Chain A
Amino acid sequence: MSEIFDYKSAPELIRVENLHKDFGSLKVLSGITETIHKGEVVSLIGASGSGKSTFLRCLNRLEEPTSGHIWFNGVDIADKSVDIDLHRQKMGMVFQHFNIFPHMSVIENITLAPIMLKKKSKDEAVAQAEALLQRVGLFDKRDNKPSRLSGGQKQRLAIVRALAMEPEVMLFDEPTSALDPEMVGEVLEVIKSLASDGMTCVIVTHEMGFAREVCNRVFFMDEGVIREQGAPHQLFDHPQHPRTRDFLSKVL
C-alpha cells in the first residue's frame, strides 16, 4: 500500500511550520516544518528524548508550542485565540496508557463526547458506539466497567472512543508500549484496518515492523528536528543520514 499511495497529490491536512517547543531552558523541538496529507499514515520514530511524543502532542496542543504554526484544514491552530476545543473534536488521540474513564461503562466512554459535543441523540450515539464496538470485537463488553478489560481491550476501546467523534486525523502516542507482548498484535490490527480505510494517522511507535508495513512515510526524529523522512523502504533500507543509520542499527 505504501507503494501505490501518492501522498503528494492528496490535499494537505496538517502543515507544520517552524515549530518550536521549549521546556524552560530545554529545547525539545527546534524548528519542525512538515506537511501531512489526507489519507497518509505517518510514523514518528527516534530515540527517547528525540521529541517525537512532544511533536505529536503539539499537533492538538496538549503541549503548547513555544512558537511556530500548525495549519489544520487551513486554520492556524497554534494561534492562541483559536478555540482549540473545536479543532480537537476533529483530531482523535490515543495514549500509551489508554486513559479510559474508569467511572463509566464501556459504552458510556464512547458516547460521552458525541452526546456532549456533537449534540447527538442518545440513541444515535449508542447505535454508532455499538457499531464501533462490533468492529473492534468488544461488543459483548458494552456494559462492563473498563476495570474488567485487558490492556489490549482498553486500547481498542480508546481507539473507538476517539473514532466516535469522527475525526479527520488520528494521533497515536506509543499505542502499544504499555501492552503485554501478546496484546500488541490486536491493537496494531485495528490501527492497520483504520489506515487501509483511508484514515489519516500519525503514529509515534517503536514497532519498526509495523511502521514499515503500514506507513506511507516515516519521520526519523533526532534532537528536536526531523532528521530524515521518506517512504519506509527508502528510510529503513537506504538511510542517508548517519544518525538515522546509527539509530536503525540499534533497533532493527
Chain B
Amino acid sequence: MLQNTLMLAQKYSMNFINGLGVTLYLAFISVALGCVIGAFVAIIRLSKNKVLGTIAAVYTEIVRDTPLLLQLYFFYFLLPDMLPALRLTDFTSIAVALVFNSGAYMAEVFRSGIQSIDRGQTEAARSLGLSSSQTMMRIILPQALRNVLPAMCNEFVTVTKETSLASTFFIGDLMTQHSIIKGKTYLVIEPLIIIGIIYFVITFTMSKLIAILERKLSTDE
C-alpha cells in the first residue's frame, strides 16, 4: 500500500496540485464574498428596519438549519434553470451556493462581533455628530472586524474542508481528484490517504497561524 501511495503521489501529482488549487480557490471566494455579504446581512439584522431585518434573519436561519449538501444540490439544479441566459458552469453554481452558505455563517460572526463593541463607542461617535452609518463604518466595524478576525479564519478552515462536498458535482476540487484517480487506477484507499494528508497539512497550518494571530491581536490591545 505504501508503495502504491508513493507511486500515485508521483504519477498524479498534477491532479493533487490542481485539486488543491480548486479547493483553496473555492474556499477563498466563499469566505471573501461571504464576508461582504455577512457584514451587510449583520448590519441589516441589527438595524431598525423590521422588514429587512426579518428577511436577513430568515436567510441566516434557513442556511444554518439545512444541510450544506442540500443547498449545493439546490443551487446546482436551480440556478442554471432560473438564469439560463448566464449559461452558468457547474463550478459557478457551486461557488454561488458556497458563498450563499458562508455569507450566513459570516453574518452570525459579524453580528456577535458588532454586538461585542461597547455601546459607549456608538454614543461617543453619535454625540460628536456622526450619523449612524458613519458610526458603523468608522467606529464599530473596524473594531468588530478585528474582534472577529480569528473567527473569520476559522470559517476559512471550515469551508476549506466543506468544499469536499462539492466533489459530488465533479468540479475539480481535491475530493474530485479522488474519484478521478480511483476511476483510472482502481485504487481507493491510497488516493484517500494522500488527499487526507493534504487536507490535514493545510488546515493544521492554518489553525496554527490563527492561534499566532490571536495571540498577536490580544497583545496589541
Contacts and interface: CB of A to CB of B under 8 A. Distances in A.
B138 A88 contact: no
A133 interface: no
Interface of A is mostly: mixed
Given A101-B139, A102-B143, A103-B146, A117 B129 contact: yes
Chain B contact residues: helix, strand, loop or mixed:
helix
Nearest to B124: A99
Contacts of B130: 85, 113, 116-117
Interface stretch (B28-36, B115-123, B206-214): B115-123
A93 B123 CA distance: 9
Contacts of B121: 99, 101
A95 interface: yes
A41 to B, nearest CB: 19
A61 to B, nearest CB: 9
Nearest to B138: A112
Contact of A95 (B120, B134, B139, B146): B120
B126 A62 contact: yes
Chain A: number of interface residues, binned into ranges: 20 to 34
Contacts of B118: 97, 99
Nearest to B121: A99
A95 B139 CA distance: 17
A102 to B, nearest CB: 7
A88 B123 contact: no
A88 B134 contact: no
Among B126, B127, B131: residue with most chain A CB under 10 A? B127
A152 B146 CA distance: 26
A161 interface: yes
A62 B129 CA distance: 11
B127 A85 contact: no
Interface string A98-123: 01111100000000110011000000
B142 interface: yes
B130 to A, nearest CB: 7
B221 interface: yes
Contacts of A91: 127
Nearest to A100: B124
Given A93-B127, A103-B146, 18 more contacts: A62-B123, A62-B127, A85-B126, A85-B129, A85-B130, A86-B129, A88-B129, A91-B127, A92-B127, A93-B123, A95-B120, A99-B124, A101-B139, A102-B221, A116-B130, A117-B128, A117-B130, A165-B128
Interface of A: 60, 62, 85-86, 88-89, 91-93, 95, 97, 99-103, 112-113, 116-117, 147, 158, 161-162, 165, 171
Interface of B: 118, 120-121, 123-131, 134, 138-139, 142-143, 146, 221
Task: Report, nearest first, the 7 A-B pairs whose CB atoms are least far apart.
Answer: A89-B129, A99-B124, A93-B127, A99-B120, A113-B128, A88-B129, A85-B129
